[in-house]
Structure 1
Amino acid sequence: MTRRGLLRRAAGVTIAAAAGPALLSVPTYAVPGPTGNGKTEEASGDGRSGVATGTAGPNGWELEKAADAGGAVWTRPVPGTGLAGVAVRMGDVETVLVHVIRRFHYEIDQMKPGEVIGWRKPGEVRKGLAEVNQASGTAVQIRPGHYPHGARGGFHAVQTAVVRDVLAELEGVVRWGGDDSTPDESLFYLDAPPGDDRLTRVAARLRGWQEDPARGAGTHVDVQDPRRRQAAQELHTRQTKRSR
């Protein structure tokens, strides 16, 4: 097993142990989890109906009333970071958002427990803003206290270059709240609706990297490489044309 594989296994064991019987003993519905192709099996039965809202967020994913309660949103480990975990939508969404968090941690600044916020209750997010996507488990806030809502300039040039590189690496399936008309530089959210082939493709590529010690988050990335910079700039141009 690779070093990365050992880190993932250790992180998973730590989260399960911290959660205790709540994650080890599940009632009459099945806990959702990634299938062989990385997609998520929705939970069925009373657990699913208890968290469903029937309302889609701005990016098209259904909001859920609770995390770790039988729906599609569960607290997941972020290997190699020391973070306790983040509540996100399982499957391809999880794969992509955890990658964002890990690259931020390795290349922008190391984070401490509590500095990443995933799912939030539908009643706690402000309607009309991209943060609503957190209620579907398809967005995360990284250090929201460091990057005030409505303000720009929280990242210096090199850090911004990393953010742009991450977005381009993910082929635009994630959008940065710093590019919105009302900026939230702490926010990273899925910019692909359910069933989008780009999400499936990108997530599959990221999972393949997890088995290669020379690829993926935690490995050296030259964000100043001309080809990467061009891809990042082209994506930035496309995404900012769709100001939100």
Structure 2
Amino acid sequence: MTVRGMSRRGLMGGTAGALAAATLGSAATAPPAHGAPAAVPQWRGGTSANGWKVLAEADTEEYLVEGSGLAVRLAPGDPSVLLLHVARRFHYELAPLRAGDLHGHGTSRHVSHPFESNHLSGTAMTIRPHAYPLGVAGGLYPAELVVIRDILAELDGTVAWGGDFPTPKESHFEIALAPTHPKTKRVARTIRDWNTSPGKGAGATDAFAPARRARATTFARREQHP
């Protein structure tokens, strides 16, 4: 069973809620007429919910996910390093990624929840969104959750998982910290070092090793109950 409480990471340091209230608007001011589709909220800000700048497609880059043959469009720099690490580990340890499984940067400002605005800045990624849709929890087996928790602990709070949000989206991963937060740069530097060191990083990790499981459990409790 997934954890449904909002984590400190999901709150983006306590700022996302206020930013969302200021920037998320709806085209409708009254309930839709009977039988009419509900209006889709539109994100109006110049930054996404996690505080990163909204980017045009030309300002993002397409990155190949090692071992999968698939590419995903993300913000360059540290966000791409961290999110690609998630995608690689998912591919190697959970399920092989197939065509249509990855979605990164997008330009549509129509969002169902503020956290989905992070796609506008290229700092969010969904993995198999059709298998793990918005509002549905419990889509992962216990062994799969072990891997997810290990990934989150390994990234030390720089990446948040939608399975921890009050309205869950288990396919969703996002950069959890503001652009100036030093931890983002530090953890991304570690991942870059692993990527150039044989025997380290994605594909060389045992999420079920007792020490790693204990660390992941402790990290999850700390993040979800600050």
Into which bin does the TM-score normalised by the smaller protein fall?
0.7 to 0.9
The aligned runs of 1:1-244 (5 Å cut-off) are: 55-64=46-55, 66-67=56-57, 69=58, 71=59, 73-83=60-70, 85-126=71-112, 128-219=113-204, 221-241=205-225
- Change over 3 Å in CA distance of 1:238–1:121 after alignment to 2: farther
Aligned position for 2:11: none
| Residue deviations 1:112-171 (CA, integer Å, cap 9, x gap) | 122100011242333x43111111100100000001210111110110000000000101
The 4+ residue runs of structure 1 with deviation greater than 4 A are: none
- Any gaps of 5 or more consecutive residues in structure 1? 1-52
SS at structure 1 position matched to 2:89: helix
State the alpha-carbon separation in 2 of the partners of residues 90 and 148 from structure 1.
Answer: 26
Q: What is the TM-score of this pair, normalised by structure 2?
A: 0.76
Higher helix share: 1
Identical amino acids, percent of aligned pairs:
40
Q: What is the TM-score of this pair, normalised by structure 1?
A: 0.71
Aligned position for 1:12: none
Does the 8 A contact of 2:109 with 2:117 survive in 1?
Answer: no
Aligned position for 1:34: none
Deviation at 1:201, TM superposition (A): 0.8
Aligned position for 1:42: none
State the alpha-carbon separation in 2 of the partners of residues 117 and 227 from structure 1.
Answer: 33
Does the 8 A contact of 1:165 with 1:232 survive in 2?
Answer: yes
SS at structure 1 position matched to 2:186: helix
SS at structure 1 position matched to 2:163: helix
Q: How many residues align?
A: 183
| Residue deviations 1:193-235 (CA, integer Å, cap 9, x gap) | 111111111111111111222101122x222223212221222
Letter of the 1:101 partner, please give it: A
State the alpha-carbon separation in 2 of the partners of residues 114 and 205 from structure 1.
Answer: 29
Higher relative contact order (CA 8 A, sep 6+): 2
